[in-house]
Copies of this chain bind each other. A is one copy, B any other.
Amino acid sequence: MQYGQPFLGCLPTFPPVTKVTGMDTLLPVASGGAAGPLTADELRELYSLMVAVRHLDTSAIAWQRQGIIPGYAPELGQEAAQVGSGYAVDTTRDFVFPTYREMGVARTMGVDMVAYMSTHKATWHGGLYNPLESRLAPIQAVVAGSVLHAVGWAHGQTLAAGSDATTDGGLGVALTYFGDGASSQGDVHEAMNFAAVMKAPVVFFVQNNGWAISVPTERQVAGGSVAARAAGYGMPALQIDGDDVVAVVEATRRAFAHARAGNGPVLIEAMTYRRGPHSTADDPGRYRSLDEERDGAGADPLERLRQRLLADGIADEAFFAEALAAAKAEEEQIRTGIQALGSRPGTEMFDLVFQETTPALQAQAANWREESEHV
């Protein structure tokens, strides 16, 4: 307890964090592994991923207009934040908790994209992919709904490691995504406090994209920054340019290393911009002008990477064309898969509720079969 002074003053100052070098100052190319700067191969891979995500994302909006899927939540402009952070995940031991807008993360982690996109086809809430195998929790429609899950999962890693928290190369880390809007939810506070009290290996990854549907960040996040909240929990925070994929990869890797070593949680606030509508049902013209949109969005993260790769001679136009062609082929394959995807059988409604079903539920299933399937 802090006694002795009648007025104890305010606020411990947060220890400064070394800057993460991003591509706009200097593109850090090296031959080192995951711990060091990015290699040329990695940078090209990041570009290919971003193109694939961009193309799939914009195509999904077209799918919705064409009636292939009933709705979609685009991530236009957030490709660097998503691909960069997903790129830092070790899918042999980490676990990722997405919202409804992390298609780019899923793609980067290698999740089956037909299974992923099935949620937007209204096939199955949460998606058809296997979350355990893909290390990606089901798609989460409750804003801030899974942030606490990440803390519980992470604490489970601490418990499983017992006293040897740092053997085996360290702990599995939970990476949880949420938005500037979600940061207002009580669950996010509870999650940060729990994680920091328990020193759980969690990386809180906020995509501050400027908007929560129609509400801008300045009417949402008091104080102006989600990262600024971390100090109050004694937790390190990085506020990064979320449109700089190199900065994102490096910040996320740094945060993973911190958490993996048993030092507790880290918060990353990736500053980005939601260039498109909130969802295909949204009409942004009602709450922001095109001028505001252009000003807020700044430079396109994909184009920024392209320019740097060109300038530094890491990739050429042929590479970009190839990447785009691959993205197009991939989208076509996913679209075909989605179009071929039938409805799930109605019996799954009943069969998947429990591990051990109940007589009452079986009776209802029988009744349903009789009345709806006429068997």
When A184-B193, A232-B232 are in contact, do A10 and B19 touch as well, CB less than 8 Å?
no
A65, CB-defined interface residue at 8 Å: no
A361 adjacent to chain B (CB < 8 Å) = no
- Evaluate contact between A231 and B232: CB separation under 8 angstroms: yes
Q: In chain B, what residue has the closest Cβ to A247? A: B6
For A6, A217, A244, the residue with the greatest tally of chain B CB atoms inside 10 Å of its CB is A6
Across the interface, do B247 and A235 meet the contact criterion of CB distance under 8 Å? Answer: no
Q: Is A25's beta carbon under 8 Å from chain B?
A: yes
Which residues on B sit within 8 Å (CB–CB) of A12?
Answer: 223-225, 228
> Distance in Å from the Cβ of A239 to the closest Cβ of chain B?
4
**0 or 1 for each of A275-316: is its CB under 8 Å from B? (1 = yes):** 000000000000000000000101000000000000000000
* Residue picked from A9, A10, A210, A220, most chain B C-beta under 10 Å: A10
Within 8 A of B (CB), among A248-282: 251, 271, 273
Q: Measured between alpha carbons, how far is A50 from B91 in the docked complex, in Å?
A: 61
- The residues in A between 175 and 223 inclusive whose CB is less than 8 angstroms from any CB of B are 184-190, 192-193, 195-197, 210, 217, 219-223
Distance of A296 Cα from B189 Cα, bound (Å): 28
Q: Is the CB of B11 within 8 A of A14?
A: yes
Q: Is A20 an interface residue (CB 8 A)?
A: yes
Q: Is the CB of A271 within 8 A of B185?
A: no
Residues of B within 8 A of A230 (CB): 10-11, 232
Q: Cβ of A111 < 8 Å from any Cβ of B?
A: no
A21 near B: Cβ within 8 Å? yes
Contact of A1 (CB < 8 Å), options: B24, B244, B296: B296
Checking B16, B222, B243 against A197 with a beta-carbon cut-off of 8 angstroms, the contacting residue is B222
Q: CB of A71 within 8 A of chain B?
A: no
Minimal beta-carbon separation of A337 from chain B (angstroms): 37
Query: Closest residue to A272 on the B side, CB-wise?
Result: B1
A contact residues, range: 35 or more
Residues of B within 8 A of A152 (CB): none
In the assembled complex, the Cα of A19 lies from the Cα of B7 at a distance in Å of: 6
For residue A319, CB closer than 8 A to chain B, the reply is no
Choose among B6, B184, B231 the residue that contacts A21 (Cβ–Cβ < 8 A).
B6
Check A235/B223 contact, CB under 8 A, given A193-B184, A241-B8, A271-B8.
yes
Least Cβ–Cβ distance between A107 and chain B, in angstroms: 24
Find A240's partner among B6, B16, B271 (CB 8 Å cutoff).
B6
Question: How far is B227's CA from A231's CA once the two chains are assembled, in angstroms?
Answer: 11
| A192 neighbours in B (Cβ, 8 Å) | 222
Chain B neighbourhood of A3, CB < 8 A: 241, 243, 271, 298
- B21 to A237, Cβ gap below 8 A? no
Contact across chains for A232 and B241 when beta carbons are under 8 A apart? no
Tell me whether A14 and B7 are in contact (CB under 8 A): no
Say whether B16 contacts A10, CB under 8 Å.
Answer: yes
Q: Give the distance to chain B from A176, nearest Cβ to Cβ, in Å.
A: 16
Instruction: Verify if A128 is at the interface (C-beta below 8 Å from B).
Output: no
In the complex, whether A55 has a CB less than 8 A from a CB of chain B is no
Whether a CB of chain B sits under 8 angstroms from the CB of A163 is no
Q: Can you name 18 A-B pairs with beta carbons within 8 Å?
A: A1-B217, A1-B296, A3-B241, A4-B241, A6-B247, A7-B239, A7-B241, A8-B271, A9-B16, A10-B16, A10-B17, A11-B228, A184-B190, A197-B222, A223-B232, A228-B232, A231-B232, A232-B232
